[in-house]
Structure 1
Amino acid sequence: MTYNVHSGVGTDGKLDLARIAEVIASQEPDVVALQELDVSRARSGRAHQARIIAEHLDMCFHFHPAQRIQEEEEYGDAILSRWPMHLRQAAELPTVQERLAFEPRGALWASVEVHGRPVQVMNTHLGLSNNERIKQIDALLGPEWLAHPDCGTPSILCGDFNALPYSRVHRKACHAMTDTQRAVPGRRARATFPSRWPLLRLDYIFISQGLKCQSTRVVNTPLARLASDHLPLVAEVEFTTAI
């Protein structure tokens, strides 16, 4: 699952992490990529949101602060897993000098052990500037991330890309990986934003060789439409070869 949780603030303006956790739990995912999490921020009660959600779900987690505000406050992304995992890398992504590129963006990479087989999972939240997003997807597809010698396949890249299907960013990702929402014959891709009236497909799960997508779904329940301004995207994938 990939899910932009909007710092736990729902479309009703209320901060409620229990709703976020309930939406996630309803789908029983093994791995979850979360974006827009607060840690120790005054606006959200100084809570460590990644830890709270992970504890609700009985999952392990890694959090990366893409942005630090006044030293003690952090804002960023996390990977949660039911399987054992270890963090391989967490870093800031490149940016540009443009009006829309007003906040740092980052990514984190964890190796998840599924029945003893490693799967490389990367979670990101790309910027609002198109030129910035292009630099960021190039970095993620390059030698520091997906093309890193220690990455290999199978691998998963997911998150909020702030990019539409068939945009340059999307085409670059599809050249290297498979968009799971386009991988299932007869299955129409579904929008994820805004949650109340989803019109745009901004959230993606891309998979590499070594994995096959069995199904995808956008969680468009009454609670999901309330809990965040994005809807979660879920992909069920399997290894293409036996152990």
Structure 2
Amino acid sequence: MVLSRGARWAAGALTAVCTVLLLGPSTPGRGLPLARPLPAGAAEEVVPDRVGTWNLCNPCGSGLNFGRATEIATYAPQVIGLQEACVRDVEEIRRYLEEVYGLVYRVEYGPVLRNWNRCGGLPWRPGGFGQAILSAAPMTDRVSVEYPDGGSEDRGYLAVTTLVGGRPVRVFNTHLAQRRQEGVRAGQVGVLAAEVARHDRAVVLGDFNAAPSAPELGPMWALATDADPGCRPSAAGAGADGCGATTDWNSKFDYVFLRGITPRTHRVHPSPYSDHHLLHTDLNPARALPSVGRVPVRS
């Protein structure tokens, strides 16, 4: 059963109202928040040739997860890479996507830290923090790599094989070292690029913490192009040569690098739930994917 966007929201709202009536107001781990109407132009269902990337944190905190789920449901990418992601937050986002908006995503994690202050849990059993990939299709051949030098905080990449536009593709998701650590990022890009080069078709998602013209990104530009059609490594900064900003401080730090694949459309969406914008790209050529990732919203 496939529901339209309006029917999906209405059914989700009814589900939430019924839950509140039966269980009382929503509390962590109990009940559901009220469904929000999705904006005009929102995706009717998972878009089979759409990939996205989003750094979730800053502001951090699980209280933002329903808003984050609503943002993802609005654009409904087939695959989305999340950075600065706590495992428990991603699980909550997935729950809202399925139970409120009828979107089912599988998940693979690439944690590089166990951090009680960031992700909660018990002091002796802190939550995982790092990368996550959500995919409407099954994922295989998961690889999670921590960079030899993370800089001021451990960093790494996560890679899986999954379907995008009905064809298998290797998907990478990474988060490089913070600003003013150019040498560290150069080493990290070297590790990542060596693995990307092994694949004829690859999508590399993530927060690279570097402008397009940064020298450390050279190995990536040699292998792939950014989905933003006007953005090339000659760009001097945000907005130059067609490179649109992807952060609240008007820098382009977030990328959808494509190897052996061309983009059809590319969009950047500022969000109140992070200081990074949500990016998504529709790939070309698009080929129909068998129906995956949608279930009727329970009422």
Shorter-normalised TM range:
0.7 to 0.9
- 2:77 alignment counterpart: 29
Displacement of 1:124:
0.3
CA distance in 1, matches of 2:167, 2:286: 12
Equivalent pair of 1:110/1:121 in contact (CA under 8 Å): yes
Contact 1:126 1:162 in 2 (8 A): yes
Indicate which of 221, 225, 235 corresponds to 2:281. Answer: 235
What residue number does 2:188 align with? 136
Letter in 2 for 1:32: I
Q: TM-score normalized by structure 1?
A: 0.79
- Using the TM superposition, give the Cα deviation of residue 172 of structure 1 relative to its aligned residue in structure 2, in angstroms: 2.2
Retained in 1: the 8 A contact 2:183–2:216?
A: no
The structural deviation recorded for 1:71 is 4.7
Could you tell me which residue of structure 2 aligns to residue 199 of structure 1?
250
Note closer, same or farther for the CA distance 1:118–1:16 as it changes in structure 2 (3 Å cut). same
Q: Tell me whether 1:174 sits opposite 2:174 in the alignment.
A: no
CA displacement at 1:241 relative to structure 2 = 9.8
Rounded to whole Å, the distance in 1 between the matches of 2:113 and 2:73 is 27
The answer for the alignment partner of 1:118 in structure 2 is: 168
Report the secondary structure of 1:165's partner residue. coil
Aligned counterparts of 2:57 and 2:109: Cα–Cα separation in 1: 15
> Are 2:119 and 1:68 aligned?
no
1:159 corresponds to which of 177, 195, 206: 206
**Does the 8 A contact of 1:32 with 1:80 survive in 2?**
yes
Structure 2 unaligned residues grouped into runs of 5+: 1-51, 98-103, 116-123, 232-240, 289-299
- TM-score, normalising length from structure 2? 0.65
Q: Distance in 2 between matches of 1:8 and 1:60?
A: 25
Residue 85 of structure 2 aligns to which amino acid in structure 1? L
Going from structure 1 to structure 2, the CA distance change for 1:7 and 1:54 (only over 3 Å counts) comes to farther
Quote the sequence identity (%): 30
Contact 1:7/1:38 (<8 A) preserved: no
Partner of residue 54, structure 2 = 3
User: Greater Rg, structure 1 or structure 2?
Assistant: 2
Aligned positions, number = 213
